[in-house]
Chain A
Amino acid sequence: MKFRAKIIDVGCLNHFTRVVNTISKLTKTCILRLTPGNLYFVLSGKIASGGVSMWCELSQANFFDEYQLEGVAPEANEICLEVTPENLSRALRTAQNAKCVKIKLTKKHCPCLTFAAELPTLSSVSRVVTHDIPVDVIPRRLWHDFKEPSVPDFDVSIYLPPLKTMKNVVDRMKNLSNFLVIEANLNGEMNLKIETDLVSVTTHFKDLGNPPWGDDGSQGRSHSRDPELMAQTRVDIRKLQQFLMGQQVNPSKAMCNIVHKRIIHLILLHEDVSLQYFIPAVA
């Protein structure tokens, strides 16, 4: 099991830092799956994480100038690690103007991801900062927990309004209620609602548009649907807030799939990065 990668380009470094920062806002620990072509940050919907799951996919070629991986076995050329994204984020933060950053899987006092950054100096010799970040190596028999989730058979899929706007709304609603109902229809309309004994608040969004999912299997249920009919899910408002709060990547596309009374599936696409986030319904 070997892994080493290197970033030289400042733009790539900043981009990677933003992705990691986003992940660190979403979860305390997650799985980092390394394959020859991609990196994945994965959170599987365990009770401990409030049933929330996450899938973030990066194409390594878009970030790294060098990338070498030797997986667990030739037929399973992957490495699966449990990491604390906050530590990765901290390590990257101190490497902001680095000439280059190397990431290596190392065996120190325990398995570590070692970040080494070469920092510019006035003298001829560079300043080097290294961070040994402890990781847990996930044995192969547990890998099945961390497979890409399939797109749920949703009732309605809708483009999201600008995330900042949505965040402002949700932040205010959070002061009034712990739960939020998100509903949308095939007519490009979405509502965010809270209801308490004292007050009901609804924010209406319209003309958002519905993503064309083509002949994808998920289209089945929404095909013959009344465009005005709302599909709705009630979620823990903190989970949604956390998702909106952590966004540091400006997505080119943001959408939400709603499975009526079951789950919401949020998708952010930004060039080479995709982030999927699942929030289960609460009764």
Chain B
Amino acid sequence: MPSIMETINIILDGLPTLLKGMGVTIEVTVISLILAMVIGLVLGVFSITKSKVLRMISTVFVDIIRGTPLLVQILFIYFGLPSVIDISLTAFSAGVIAITVNAAAYLVEIFRAGINSIDKGQMEAGRSLGFSYGQTMRLIILPQAIRRMIPAFVNQFIVSIKDTSLLSAIGLAELTLSGQSIYAANFHAFEILFAVGVLYFVIIYSLTLLSRWLERRLDVA
């Protein structure tokens, strides 16, 4: 059993590398989730329109992405795609694409359920005043729906943050891989993985606190 001082020193030695990895993890997550929210919203609205084609696009996307493991998607995008089409992706961009696409599929369902939870009289009231479908969505339905969606969004964001650890499989030096590279050299797996866990917890717990504050502020109905 190593002493407390030794443990702290091992962690402190590894900390600069870990914090760099944590930076990459946050960067991938933030970029991916912003993109995923946009795709999720668009496909979520597709999924409730009258157009069969748009509904089909949304359904097929959601079914394929939810029906396959994220690790396979990551490997497919990074190793699979460049072998048949002429693109070369960095581990970072492949990671962003994979996390974006995966999170978007789950966000589609959150948007769909959230929008559907708003009484249909709200759409009718908006349309009867003379607002278009798009205006009614933007001014009346979404502002109400998004408040209700916040807890589900936060849940998905947390899942996505943790999912980024799978990007270590394609050599992206995010938090998990940074940890692995340290204990591969110094063999202190216990201390380093403990520190890695703490850093993930810090990111996720900060997000949790932020969402609780946001929910209170918006007085979610």
A and B bind: no
Chain A interface (Cβ < 8 Å from any Cβ of B): none
| Chain B residues within CB distance 8 Å of chain A | none
